[in-house]
Amino acid sequence: MPLPNKAGEPEFKLKTDPADRVVIKYKKNDESTVTLTITNITKDRVCYKVKCTDNQIFRVRPPMGFIKPGETVPVKITLKSKEDLDPTRHFFAIYHITFSDLKEKDPRAAWKDGAKPDGVLRLQAHLETEDKADEKKDEKKEEKKDEDKKDDKKDDKKE
């Protein structure tokens, strides 16, 4: 479930996939990328903007753009992991505003002069380290090796 809007913020009118949270599986000191798709289900051309909690560890490409009615755009989110990464404090805020000027090509123009968004959505970033999964696999392999050694010793004693 997405994070709740702040008081006075308008309801989000577009569709995202994922719809409730962004799950990023990563290895320490490595980059991981996921794709967030935004679909314009309104009848108007809109401009979107995606913001993150920390530009040092997240890269959003493209961070803003236009979407025609019925169209879907992919947005790549890259995590540059680092030590002491808090897996629960991060989120992505997605804003959209109706922008009918078809001649305008620069999405920054839609957000000039303190333009207020027509919709806001905050998606929790759920960061899962793959290192723990690898550690568990390694532990299981070690346990299996130990069991095999014990079985070999039992076989040696029987002979």
Task: Provide the pLDDT confidence category of residue 131 given band limits of 50, 70 and 90.
Answer: confident
CATH class for the region spanning 15-130: mainly beta
Torsion of the alpha carbons at 25, 29, 31 and 36, rounded to the nearest 10: 40
For the chain, what are the domain ranges?
Answer: 15-130
Reported as a single tens digit per residue, the pLDDT across 27-83 is 888 899 999 999 999 999 999 999 999 999 999 999 999 999 999 999 999 999 887
pTM score: 0.80
Do you find a cis peptide bond into 18, omega within 30 degrees of 0? yes
